[in-house]
Chains A and B, each alone.
Chain A
Amino acid sequence: MSDIVMSAVDVNVRFGGLRALADLDLEIRSGEVLGIVGPNGAGKSTLFNVLAGAIRPTSGRVLLQGRDITSSRADQRARMGISRTFQTVRPFLDETLVRNVAVAALAVGDGRAHAMDVAVDLLEQVGLADKAAARASELGHGERKRLELARALAVRPRVLMLDEVMAGLNPSEVREIVELIRSLCAASGSELVLIEHLLSAVRSLADRVVVLDAGRVLADGTPDDVFGDPKVIEAYLGTKYATS
C-alpha cells in the first residue's frame, strides 16, 4: 500500500469523559483531495490536531509514509511537510503579512532573504500582495483566512490540511478561494485534506469524502456516494448543523 501518504490508526482522543475520537482509522492517499465533513463537534478539528501533532491521542498511532510519528511535536511535523490551518485563525498581529508567512519558510530552512521572497510569492498567490507590508491586525476576517493559507503553504507541505477555510466568507470570497485551492492542488502535487461545512465546495473539490459523526467514521467514499447515503443524510438532518 505504497500510495498511502499518511494515516491515523485506531486513534482515540478523550477529553475527560468525552470521546472526541473513537477507534478512528483514516488514510490519506497519494494525489487525492480528501474532504472531511460532519456535524459540529464530530471531531474533525480534533482529528487535524492529532494528525498535525497539536495534541497527543489518548491511544493510537499516526503514520507518515509508514513511519510512526505519533510522538513528534507539531513543529517537527510542520518541518516534515504536514501543514495545517486553524479553524480559528490567530495570525501574528503585530507583524507584517510578509513576516507572518516568511517565518514559516524560515523554519523549513530558507535563509531570511529567500524566506521573504517565498512569502511575497505566496501572498501574491492568495491575492494579498498589495498588503504585504501591512500588519496582520489591519486585515479583515476573509483576508486573515487567506493569510493563514499562505502561511500554511510556506512550509512546502506534502500534506495540507485546511480547517474550514471558507467559514464566514461571503459567496464571492468562497468562489475565489475554491479557485485558489483548485489551482494549488493542480500546481503543488501535495495531498490536500479539507474540512468544510460548505458541502457544495466539498463536492466540487474533493475526490473522496469521509463523514465523521461523534468521533467515528460514518461514511467513506466518492462525493456522490457519500452524499446520497441515507445514514449521512440522517446525521445531517438530525443535527441541523450551522456554520460556526
Chain B
Amino acid sequence: MTTQATTSPAPRRVRPRRRPSLGIIVGIAVLAALALAPLTGSRHSLGIWTVALIFAGVSSGWAIAGGLSGLIPLGHAAFFGIGGYASAVVFAKYDLSPWLGIVVGMVIAAALAWLMTVLAVRFKVRGPYFALYTLAWAEMLRILASNLDYLGKTNGVLVPYKVDAGPADLQFSDPRGFYLVAVGYAALAMIVFLLVKRSPLGWRLSAIRGDEPTAAASGVDVARSLTRTMALSAAMTAIGGGLYAQYIQYIDPELAFNVSVSIDIAVRAILGGAVLVLGPLLGSVAMTSVTELTQKYMDALPSASLLVLGLAIIALAHWFPTGIGGLGVRLKRIWSRRSDRV
C-alpha cells in the first residue's frame, strides 16, 4: 500500500494512493502548538487544558471502539475509573510508581472489557442495548467501589505528596511537566487510534460497522474483532484515568465511575467526529472551551454550559452528523472538487 511503482507494470491499477492524511498533518500541528502553549498563559488555564488533553486522550481511546467498530459503548467510566483507582492504590498503598499502577489498570480494564464483550457477543447485545449494558457495568463498579473498605468506600483514595518526587512519581514541581505528559498521552491515543484504523483490524471493524452479516459472510470474525477492539479501547482509556487521578491527586467513586463521566467521554468524541483521528481532540477542546466561557460570561445561569453544549450537539447532528471534524472533511472535499475543475 505504498505509492512506489512496482516493477511489473500495471497500467489500469486504480489502487488508491496512500498519502499522509490532512488529519495527521493538522494533528501534528495542533499538538505542537499545544505543547508550546503553556509558555504563555496563566496557571489556571494550564490546569484546565491539562485536564482537557487527558480527556482528549480518553476520548480517542473511546473512539477506537465507539468510532471504528460501530458499537456504542456508554460505560467507559468503568475503564477510566479502573485506571484511576489502580494508579492511586499502587502509589498510595504500596508506594510503587503510579506508572506501574497505570499498567495494572490497563490490564484490568482490558480484561474486563474483554469479558463484557464476550458476553455481549454471546447474547447478541447490540445497538442501544449495548450502550445500556456497558453503562450498567460502570454503575456496578461505582457501587462496588463505594462499598469496598480497600478502596476507601465513598471517601475514595488520596494520592499523597511525596518529598523529592519526580517524573517517575508523576509529580512535577513545574505544572508544565504534567501538562506535557497530557500532551504526550493525547498524542499516543491518537496514534493508536490511527494505527488501528489503518490495520487489518481496522478494515474488519469498518466492515462490521457497515453490516455485520455481510462482514461475517466475508470471513470476518466479528466476535474476535469486537473483543480485541474493546480491550484495546479500555486499556487506552485506563491510562487517562490513571493520569487524571494522579493529576488531581485523588479519586473517588463519583469521579471515577459516575454516568456523567461515561457520557462526557463519549460526547467529546461524537462532538468532534468519532471516526476521525482529530475528532476527539477537537471535541474535547470545544467542550472545555464552552464550559469555561459559559462559566465566565453566563454564570448567572447555573447550567448554561450544558444548555450551550446541548444546542451545539443538536446543531451538529443536524448539519454535520460526522462532528466538527466532519466539517473539515467536507470543506476539504469541496475544495478538492473545485481545484479539480480549475
List chain A positions with a Cβ less than 8 A from chain B.
Answer: 52, 54, 73-76, 78-79, 83-84, 86, 89-96, 98-100, 102-104, 106-108, 112-113, 116-117, 120, 124, 129-130, 132-133, 151-152, 154-155
B210–A106 CB distance below 8 A: no
Assuming the A-B contacts A92-B210, A112-B1, are A133 and B216 also in contact, with contact meaning beta carbons closer than 8 angstroms in the complex? no
Contact of A95 among B13, B15, B210, B217 (CB under 8 A): B210
Q: Give the total number of A-B pairs whose CB atoms are below 8 A apart.
A: 101
Assuming the A-B contacts A75-B221, A106-B200, are A86 and B206 also in contact, with contact meaning beta carbons closer than 8 angstroms in the complex? no
Could you say which of B13, B15, B206, B209 has the most chain A C-beta atoms within 10 Å of its C-beta? B15
Q: How far is the CA of A187 from the CA of B234 in the complex (A)?
A: 47
B1–A113 CB distance below 8 A: yes
Total interface residues on B, CB under 8 Å, equals: 24
B207 at the A/B interface (Cβ < 8 Å)? Answer: yes
A99–B206 CB distance below 8 A: yes
Contact residues in B for A154 (Cβ distance below 8 Å): 218
Q: How far is the CA of A113 from the CA of B6 in the complex (A)?
A: 12
Q: How far is the CA of A86 from the CA of B215 in the complex (A)?
A: 12
A150 to chain B, nearest CB (A): 11
Contact of B13 among A86, A103, A120 (CB under 8 A): A120
Q: How far is the CA of A93 from the CA of B209 in the complex (A)?
A: 10
A112–B14 CB distance below 8 A: no
List chain B positions with a Cβ less than 8 A from chain A.
Answer: 1, 12-16, 200, 203-204, 206-207, 209-211, 213-222
Name the residue on A nearest B12 (C-beta). Answer: A129
Contact residues in A for B220 (Cβ distance below 8 Å): 75, 103-104, 107
Contact residues in A for B211 (Cβ distance below 8 Å): 90-92
17 A-B pairs within 8 Å (CB atoms) are namely A52-B217, A74-B217, A75-B215, A75-B218, A84-B217, A92-B206, A92-B207, A92-B210, A100-B210, A103-B218, A107-B204, A107-B220, A112-B1, A129-B14, A151-B214, A152-B217, A154-B218
Contact residues in A for B204 (Cβ distance below 8 Å): 103, 106-107
Contact residues in B for A133 (Cβ distance below 8 Å): 14, 16
Q: How far is the CA of A102 from the CA of B203 in the complex (A)?
A: 9
B12–A103 CB distance below 8 A: no
Assuming the A-B contacts A75-B222, A93-B210, are A86 and B217 also in contact, with contact meaning beta carbons closer than 8 angstroms in the complex? yes
Name the residue on A nearest B219 (C-beta). Answer: A107
A94-B206, A129-B12 provided; 13 other pairs, C-beta below 8 A? A54-B216, A78-B218, A92-B210, A94-B209, A95-B207, A96-B16, A98-B14, A104-B219, A104-B220, A106-B204, A107-B219, A112-B203, A130-B14
